Amino acid sequence: MRRYVALFLLFTSVRNASTSVTHYSISEEMKEGSVVANLATDLGLDITTLTKRKMRVDIIANKKYLDVNKETGELYVLEKIDREHICTTKSSSSCYLRLEVTLDNPVRIFNIEVEIVDMNDNAPQFRRDVIHLDISEATQKGERFSLSNAVDRDVGTNALKTYHLSESEYFSIEVQSGREGSKFADLILKKTLDREKQAVHNLVLTAVDGGTPARSGTASVIVRVLDTNDNAPMFDKAGLTVTMLENSPIGSLVINLNATDLDEGSNSDISYSYSLYTSEKTQETFNLNPTTGEITVKGMLNYEDFNIYDMEVIAIDKGINSLSGQCTIKILVEDMNDNHPEISIKSFQSPVSENIELDTVIAVVSVSDKDSGDNGQVDLHIPENMPFKLRESSDNYYELVVSEPLDREKVPEYEITFTVTDRGSPPLSDNETMTLELLDVNDNVPQFSQSFYTIRVMENNAPGSFLSSLTAFDPDLHENQYLVYFIIEKEIANTSMSMLFSINPENGNLYALKTFDYEIEKEFLFHIEARDSGSPPLSSNVTVHIIVVDQNDNAPVIVSPWRAHGSVVEEKIPRSTDKGSLVAKVIALDTDSVHNSRITYQFLQVTDASLFSLDQYNGEIRTMRMFSYKDSRHLRLVVVAKDNGEPALSATVTIKLLTVETDVKAYSDMTEMPLEYDIFSDINLYLVIGLASVSFLLLITILVTIVLKCQKPKHSKTAPPSRNSVISERNSTIADSTLVSNDAYWYSLFLAETRKGKLVVRQPVPKGSRYIVSSIPRGTGLSETSDSAASTLQV
């Protein structure tokens, strides 16, 4: 370094004897301690002289950079020299440090100038690292824009020389020289800007000096393209189709429109509105948010009223010269199954006759549904099990026709329910009910509740007595139902039924016109006719069987033993009579029937209850033991015969018995003997007892045979004579062996058991008497309807 400084000083030092100014040149890159020059040598002074003359060195300016070694006289660098710091102005390219050296004895002053030679130690530097420019995109090309210049503290060739701009298709620079050699650059627009393509251009401006090597500085140039309203708002699509369900709730979102404007600021602020081509109904149904472009449901959507909405929405920016864009929107309302199908009865014929012909049209029905698709497809049907069917006549029209015969009497009217159902999911339905009335036709004959009426009437009824109501039923209506009743005339014994009975022609009440007597008339058989008032009239008849019911109006009449009115029957009986011997048989007759004529016998009074027994059913009085000497010779028996009526009627007979020691007159050759008053008065009881003893075994055999025959009756019109049987002169008989007749005389059979066998006795009955003879004991169990053979009375 010293060698370099020495050489530099050698060539740069200039002596100016006249001015006493010594010039030195040093580089600002010299380091601390570097010797600039030896003043003693340069001033022609030796060291000894300097010591003696007391050299003083005064640094006039910037004394901190240079100093003189007073012992050696060397000028050296005290601190690193910065030329740009020492010479702050660039008005002159020269920069000096001035020193003044003074010697005493004699005084001598030396002026020294040290020129600081510039070196390229400073790069160009911009006042701002970032340069912002706002350029409208409407600026025409060729337009200039001033840029901040760079500053280089170096001078001369080391100073700022030129500028460079980073590559750009839109910009270039032009370097200009100013006064005092300053350099600055203008930014030139080569191509029209488009903010929407590139809103910001980032450029780099480089300032380069002339040093070797050259040094440079950079600044960022940020060009922001100012927007102009040169872009209209644009929708994503020019046409949109949106589907909405009908009945969508108010406020439901339809679509969120999104229009964009490539501009910025107010030029890109968009407001939405309906155009004039949008109908009022659409604007009333849908709400358009002017700020967000959101379209929502404003009114009720009903597919059946309106199913397509067309609207045009305009998007307008807020630039000074506003621009706009359009979008058409088609809103399709999608059908929901929200409408019930409807039924319309176009015609309905009611009432109709019950004999209406098959396939006759009763009603015409139309169906409809405001929905569409499957929601609008409908099916019509009626309840099952009805005599009607539906027949489709044309589109959505149906005919109701008769498919089966109608019968008003079975079903007078029909509730016909038409049900229509659509094919939606879930399906909806509606129904309509009509009442079909049937008109009556006289197609039913009157009907009695029974095919045969058996009416029982008690004898001795009052004339005009009500017997029964023979009401018939006719299921038809009105005059077809109004019935008239008649007695079909029939004569019995020259007597017309109309003389005996009367029927109310309006209500069928049957009355008896006379008093009936069971003992004379027991039953009547005739027919009643019921005729309706239809045209032609229909009728039916029924058989009426009138049965006269017996009353207990006849008291029993004792016919055996017979006695005059008020007299007492007297009998004789041997005292030797055996136990169980037949003493007497009481027979009573009752002209009533059945139970009213059934007689039972009881002792009313008896002298000795231990001596006699009375069979309550056949009236036989028998001995219960042998007579003893203690027994009275005169015995008195009072027998009462009581019928089974309610209340019961009765008759009594008094029998006086006289026990005798003599034999009874033999009756071996006598089979019949008429009795006047006392049937036992002349009979030899002893003979009877003897005969009975001889023929006892034979009697047992005969009785068994008779019993067996009675148990096996023959099915013939006339039964053979048997024990305990009766017959009239006219041979009239009735069931269960009970006989009724008007004969002048009745004959009763009296069987007397004697030792000789059976004795048949005939007894006359007073003229004009009428009796019912019941010869069957109560114990046989036969009733009114018994199938036993008829009994006869032997004469």
**Domains in the chain: how many in total?**
6
The Cα 472–Cα 78 span in angstroms is 162
Residue bearing the bigger pLDDT, 739 or 30 = 30
User: Quick one: 464 and 431 in the same domain?
Assistant: no
Looking at the domain assignment, is residue 75 inside a domain?
yes
User: Quick one: 490 and 631 in the same domain?
Assistant: no
User: Quick one: 579 and 502 in the same domain?
Assistant: no
pLDDT at 100: 80
The Cα 308–Cα 315 span in angstroms is 23
pLDDT at 450: 92
Smallest CA-to-CA distance from 747 within 597, 562, 554, 567 is with 562
**Among 10-19, 391-400, 535-544, whose mean pLDDT is lowest?**
10-19
Q: Is the pLDDT of residue 699 over 80?
A: no
pLDDT confidence tier of residue 551, bands split at 50, 70 and 90 = confident
Residue bearing the bigger pLDDT, 43 or 475 = 475
Q: Are 578 and 486 in contact (CB under 8 A)?
A: no
- Give tens-digit pLDDT for 114-145: 888 888 888 999 989 999 999 999 999 999 99
Contacts of 553 (CB under 8 A, 6+ apart): 459, 460, 592
Residue bearing the bigger pLDDT, 372 or 699 = 372
User: Quick one: 544 and 571 in the same domain?
Assistant: no
Contacts of 214 (CB under 8 A, 6+ apart): 120, 161, 208
Query: Within its chain, how far is the Cα of 127 from the centroid?
Result: 90
Q: Is the pLDDT of residue 364 over 60?
A: yes
pLDDT confidence tier of residue 389, bands split at 50, 70 and 90 = very high
Q: Is the pLDDT of residue 313 over 50?
A: yes
Tell me the residue range of the domain where 293 lies. Answer: 234-334
User: Quick one: 665 and 712 in the same domain?
Assistant: yes
Q: Which of 52, 86, 117 is the last residue of a domain?
A: 117
Looking at the domain assignment, is residue 311 inside a domain?
yes
User: Quick one: 47 and 8 in the same domain?
Assistant: yes
Please state at what angle helix 685-694 crosses helix 696-711, rounded to 10 degrees. Answer: 70
Looking at the domain assignment, is residue 786 inside a domain?
no
Any long-range contacts for 135-139 (C-beta under 8 Å, 24+ apart)?
135/189, 135/193, 135/223, 135/224, 135/225, 135/226, 136/193, 136/225, 136/226, 136/228, 137/192, 137/193, 137/194, 137/195, 137/225, 137/226, 137/227, 137/228, 137/230, 138/228, 138/230, 139/189, 139/192, 139/193
User: Quick one: 706 and 738 in the same domain?
Assistant: yes
The Cα 190–Cα 194 span in angstroms is 13
Q: Is the pLDDT of residue 698 over 90?
A: no
Looking at the domain assignment, is residue 600 inside a domain?
yes
Looking at the domain assignment, is residue 347 inside a domain?
yes
Q: Which of 90, 117, 144 is the last residue of a domain?
A: 117
pLDDT at 691: 55
Smallest CA-to-CA distance from 614 within 557, 646, 653, 567 is with 653
Q: Is the pLDDT of residue 214 over 70?
A: yes
Smallest CA-to-CA distance from 155 within 82, 92, 86, 80 is with 92
Cβ atoms within 10 Å, residue 254: 23
The model's pTM: 0.46
Smallest CA-to-CA distance from 117 within 78, 64, 156, 74 is with 156
pLDDT at 260: 93
pLDDT confidence tier of residue 342, bands split at 50, 70 and 90 = very high
Token reading at 76 = 């050296």
pLDDT at 92: 63
pLDDT at 697: 65
- Give tens-digit pLDDT for 611-642: 999 999 999 999 999 988 888 888 899 999 99
Mean pLDDT of the chain: 79
The Cα 42–Cα 40 span in angstroms is 5
The Cα 117–Cα 93 span in angstroms is 9
pLDDT confidence tier of residue 497, bands split at 50, 70 and 90 = confident
CA dihedral 572, 576, 578, 580 (to 10 degrees): 20
pLDDT at 620: 93
**Among 36-50, 447-461, 750-764, whose mean pLDDT is lowest?**
750-764
The Cα 241–Cα 334 span in angstroms is 12
Which H or E run includes 84? Answer: helix 83-86
User: Quick one: 199 and 133 in the same domain?
Assistant: yes
CATH of the domain at 374: 2.60.40.60
pLDDT at 708: 67
pLDDT more than 90, % of the chain = 46
pLDDT at 526: 92
pLDDT at 566: 64
pLDDT at 113: 86
pLDDT at 91: 61
User: Quick one: 639 and 767 in the same domain?
Assistant: yes
Token reading at 751 = 């069987």
- Give tens-digit pLDDT for 655-666: 998 888 865 443
- Give tens-digit pLDDT for 476-491: 999 999 999 999 987 7
Q: Is the pLDDT of residue 733 over 50?
A: no
C-alpha dist (Å) from residue 415 to 68, 386, 561, 647? 143, 10, 83, 62
C-alpha dist (Å) from residue 377 to 341, 342, 344, 390? 9, 12, 16, 17
User: Quick one: 452 and 378 in the same domain?
Assistant: no
Looking at the domain assignment, is residue 789 inside a domain?
no
pLDDT confidence tier of residue 704, bands split at 50, 70 and 90 = low
pLDDT at 688: 52
Report the range out of 11-15, 127-131, 726-730 with the highest average pLDDT.
Answer: 127-131
- Give tens-digit pLDDT for 460-475: 999 999 999 999 999 9
User: Quick one: 297 and 416 in the same domain?
Assistant: no
The residue type of 142 is G
Q: Is the pLDDT of residue 787 over 90?
A: no
pLDDT at 741: 31
Looking at the domain assignment, is residue 793 inside a domain?
no
Does 766 sit behind a cis peptide bond, omega within 30 degrees of 0 on the bond before it? Answer: no
pLDDT at 724: 32
Concatenate the DSSP letters of all residues of 315-374 into one string: EEE-STT--EEEEEEEEEEEP-S-S--EEEEEEE--SEETTPPTT-EEEEEEEE-SS-GG
Token reading at 616 = 């309550």
Within 13 Å of residue 150, how many CA atoms lie on the same side as its CB? Answer: 29
The residue behind tokens 């015409």 is 364
Cβ atoms within 10 Å, residue 315: 24
Residues 578-588 have a mean pLDDT of 90
Q: Is the pLDDT of residue 431 over 70?
A: yes
DSSP 290: T
> Order of strands across the sheet with 600-606?
569-574, 650-660, 634-642, 600-606
DSSP 726: B
pLDDT at 33: 83
Looking at the domain assignment, is residue 96 inside a domain?
yes
Contacts of 509 (CB under 8 A, 6+ apart): 466, 468, 469, 470, 503
Q: Is the pLDDT of residue 753 over 50?
A: no
User: Quick one: 698 and 775 in the same domain?
Assistant: yes
- Give tens-digit pLDDT for 82-111: 888 888 776 667 888 888 877 777 777 878
The residue behind tokens 């309302």 is 333
DSSP 706: H
Smallest CA-to-CA distance from 567 within 697, 473, 656 is with 656
By 3-state DSSP, what share of the chain in percent is helix, strand and coil, each rounded to 5?
10, 40, 50
pLDDT confidence tier of residue 495, bands split at 50, 70 and 90 = confident
Using DSSP's 3-state secondary structure scheme, residue 228 falls into: coil
pLDDT at 30: 84
The Cα 279–Cα 311 span in angstroms is 7
Residues 692-717 have a mean pLDDT of 60
The Cα 712–Cα 708 span in angstroms is 7
Does 561 sit behind a cis peptide bond, omega within 30 degrees of 0 on the bond before it? Answer: yes
The strand pairing partners of 144, in sequence order, are 188
Q: Is the pLDDT of residue 764 over 80?
A: no
Residues 139-157 have a mean pLDDT of 90
Residues 432-459 have a mean pLDDT of 93
pLDDT at 494: 72
Q: Which of 498, 516, 549 is the last residue of a domain?
A: 549
The Cα 437–Cα 416 span in angstroms is 11
